[in-house]
A and B are shown apart, each in its own frame.
Chain A
Amino acid sequence: MSNPKVSDSRGDLHLNRLTKRFADFIAVDDLSLTVPRGSFFALLGPSGCGKTTTLRMIAGLEEPTQGMISIGDTDITTAKPYRRPVNTVFQNYALFPHLTIFENIAFGLRRRGVKDVKKDVDNVLELVELGHLAERKPNQLSGGQQQRIAVARAIVNKPEVLLLDEPLGALDLKLRRQMQIELKRIQMEVGITFIHVTHDQEEAMTMADTIAVMNQGKIEQMGSPAELYESPKTAFVANFLGQSNLIKGKVNSRSGANASVNIHGIDIEVPITRMASHGDSVLIGVRPEKLNINAKSKNSIGNGTVTDASFVGVSTQYLVKTSWDEELVVFEQNDAGAPDIKVGDTVSLSWEPAHTFALDGNQDLAAGADVDHEAD
């Protein structure tokens, strides 16, 4: 039963102008991407953005309409799934219900003709800390255990690329946090390229070195979690990754390090390096935790009225209605105990210019904010 034709290509994963067209829509649209060997890469986006289709094309479960997929110098675009040095952790795990945990993990090794599977299986079971469950059947395991077995079943084959399709979606919040750390640890230990598909921005930021935010079959922006968070380049990224306050503005002048931007009659400063647009019409963005209440930061927009206050423990979240009737979200740390601001109070808002970003003004303010993060 040996299967000697599994490609032993090594190297970075390249997607080159990849397109997948279904009968009535384009799931993946001219996507190009390089994932360096050994990195933890996340494809993040709302449901239907094409991330899972991309993953399935890499796995060989879906054939691209156009474009090329290669690992190192080997073209694997049309290779059968079983000829690729790629393994997948499926959503809901797809463990074989009729095989024991041991046989589930040994499955790939046996198909490739490995004679003595015991050592490899035992090692990987130890890695996921479930050695005592080897003789059980999958349906006798908890969700978290099944998830780890699914990971073990894939990495025991030492693939070049490991694909994870919403692997934590079926777990409850607490277990999910635990598994995020666990997966990260496993990735560091085995050093395999992980490509992780998720709609959960927090999960992507916790785990990945690099995140590609996908929307409507295209990559909106790619970078480290901090880069994406601090300097989003589109309204979609600004809203999908965390929350953002976006305000329409006009550029007065660009001189020196800062540009001067007029928002609803108030001039504020934005560092030129944090402007994603060269046009005059811009969207000014500030993260809620960067907005200060009743402080004297440089970009001040005057007074507003508190319309809502929710105490969430570490911080309090306010909605403040500005003089131009836009509601801004403000997070205030509760480091000095619960603050004494109530609904109806008048407060002043301000922030530091360094915390401002500016986007192209011809975008929907709410892009990416109204998509359901939890939907699949």
Chain B
Amino acid sequence: MKTTTLAPAPMPTLSHRASRWFARNLIRIYAALAFIYLFIPVAYTFAFSFNDAGKSNLIWKGFTLDNWKNPCGAPEVCSALGNSLKIGLISTILATILGTMIAFALGRYRFKGRSVINLLIFLPMATPEVVLGASLLAMFLNFRINPGMTTIIIAHVMFCISFVVVTVKARIASLDPRLEQAAMDLYANERETFRYITLPLVMPGIAGAALLSFSLSFDDFIITNFNSGTVATFPKFVYVSAARGIPAQANVIGSSMFFIALFIVVAGQIIGRRRKAR
């Protein structure tokens, strides 16, 4: 950011200048502090992934790379991670497909009962997770269905759909209808128009929705805890081990997820920018 200096008052004192600089940059200082606040626990988690702590990763005992060399060293941590990845992947695929279909129906067609559909999309987002989790469990118990992998996926798809609909619908709404008309004008029938024009243009929205779904699913604890039975996911593993101390391997996994996600998002942005610039 450039700061333009207007003709300065004669001989401003140093403290004067400092306070003026401070006033002008107040909001940046504030934002920097907010970022520090956001990242303290991330940095802490990352730092303690190098702790030579053994089972309970509470106090700094010394630097080691062992946790990173052997992330599956602690019992069950990797199976929990595997479950989370599997659930996240399946839920993301299902929720993205179902949610995208709804978004297209809402964004591209006229039909009766639109307000009911909108309400049905909005309500799961306005319902606290405990209620979503508890109600699903109540139903599963009622039908004598044992909670497990399947019930977790069912629950995750359910709460991800709404977020997918909202994200993709926004993208569809920002699409210029003339592009589709132009395609039809250029001999593309409805199917071809969708395949070559609409879908590629909505794709960034769908990709964003999928990424959001995956992170919501991967990080969910409350709803999962209600409907998981004996299956352990990564957040559940962390929660359960919290009482007796979390192995440093969990920090390794948490930090890795952070860097992987950061890499994907930044790479996605760079590719997007390249494409635009080409």
Direct contact of A and B (CB under 8 A): yes
Q: Which residues of A contact B (CB under 8 A)?
A: 1, 3, 6, 59-61, 80-82, 86-88, 90-92, 94-98, 107-108, 111-112, 135-137, 139-140, 153-154, 157
Q: Which residue of A lies closest to B195 (CB)?
A: A1
> Main SS of chain A's interface residues?
loop
Q: Which residues of B contact A (CB under 8 A)?
A: 176, 178-179, 181-189, 192, 196-197, 200-201, 275-278
Partner of B276, one of A61, A87, A139, A154: A139
Q: Which residue of A lies closest to B180 (CB)?
A: A94
A194 → chain B closest CB, angstroms: 15
Given the known A-B contacts A137-B276, A137-B278, A139-B276, are A96 and B182 also in contact in the complex, defined by CB atoms under 8 Å?
A: yes
Known: A59-B181, A111-B188, A111-B192. 13 other contacts (CB 8 A): A3-B187, A3-B189, A6-B187, A59-B185, A60-B184, A61-B184, A82-B184, A87-B185, A90-B181, A94-B179, A94-B181, A96-B182, A154-B186
Q: Is the CB of A86 within 8 A of B185?
A: yes
Partner of A80, one of B184, B186, B276, B278: B184
B181 → chain A closest CB, angstroms: 5
A82 to B197, CA, bound (A): 14
Can you list 18 A-B contacts with CB-CB less than 8 angstroms, sorted by A residue number? A59-B181, A80-B184, A80-B189, A81-B184, A82-B185, A88-B181, A94-B176, A94-B182, A95-B182, A96-B179, A96-B183, A107-B188, A107-B196, A108-B186, A111-B186, A139-B276, A140-B277, A157-B187
B206 → chain A closest CB, angstroms: 14
Partner of A82, one of B187, B196, B201: B187
A154 to B201, CA, bound (A): 21
Q: Is the CB of A107 within 8 A of B183?
A: yes
Q: Which residue of B lies closest to A107 (CB)?
A: B186
Chain A residues with CB under 8 A of B277: 140
B180 → chain A closest CB, angstroms: 9
A15 to B197, CA, bound (A): 31
A64 → chain B closest CB, angstroms: 17
Q: Which residue of A lies closest to B197 (CB)?
A: A96
Chain B residues with CB under 8 A of A91: 178
Q: Which residue of B lies closest to A56 (CB)?
A: B181
A140 to B196, CA, bound (A): 21
Q: Which residue of B lies closest to A103 (CB)?
A: B196
Q: Pick from B182, B184, B192, B278 the residue with the most CB of A within 10 Å.
A: B182
Chain A residues with CB under 8 A of B197: 96
A-B interface, 8 closest residue pairs, ranked by CB to CB distance from nearest: A108-B186, A111-B187, A94-B182, A94-B178, A81-B184, A82-B187, A88-B185, A111-B188
Q: Is the CB of A88 within 8 A of B188?
A: no
Q: Which residue of B lies closest to A150 (CB)?
A: B182
Chain A residues with CB under 8 A of B196: 107
Chain A residues with CB under 8 A of B183: 96, 107
Chain B residues with CB under 8 A of A80: 184, 189
Q: Which residue of A lies closest to B204 (CB)?
A: A98
Chain B residues with CB under 8 A of A60: 184-185
Q: Which residue of A lies closest to B193 (CB)?
A: A82
A90 to B176, CA, bound (A): 12
Q: Pick from B183, B187, B189, B192 the residue with the most CB of A within 10 Å.
A: B187
Q: Which residue of A lies closest to B178 (CB)?
A: A94
Partner of A98, one of B185, B187, B200: B200
A108 to B196, CA, bound (A): 12
A226 → chain B closest CB, angstroms: 33
Q: Is the CB of B200 within 8 A of A88?
A: no
A97 to B198, CA, bound (A): 11
Q: Is the CB of A61 within 8 A of B187?
A: no
B185 → chain A closest CB, angstroms: 5
A90 to B183, CA, bound (A): 11
A241 to B276, CA, bound (A): 43
Chain B residues with CB under 8 A of A111: 186-188, 192
Q: Pick from B179, B184, B200, B277 the residue with the most CB of A within 10 Å.
A: B184
Chain A residues with CB under 8 A of B275: 98, 137
Given the known A-B contacts A96-B179, A97-B201, are A61 and B185 also in contact in the complex, defined by CB atoms under 8 Å?
A: yes
Chain B residues with CB under 8 A of A136: 278
Chain B residues with CB under 8 A of A87: 185-186
A266 to B276, CA, bound (A): 70
A45 → chain B closest CB, angstroms: 21
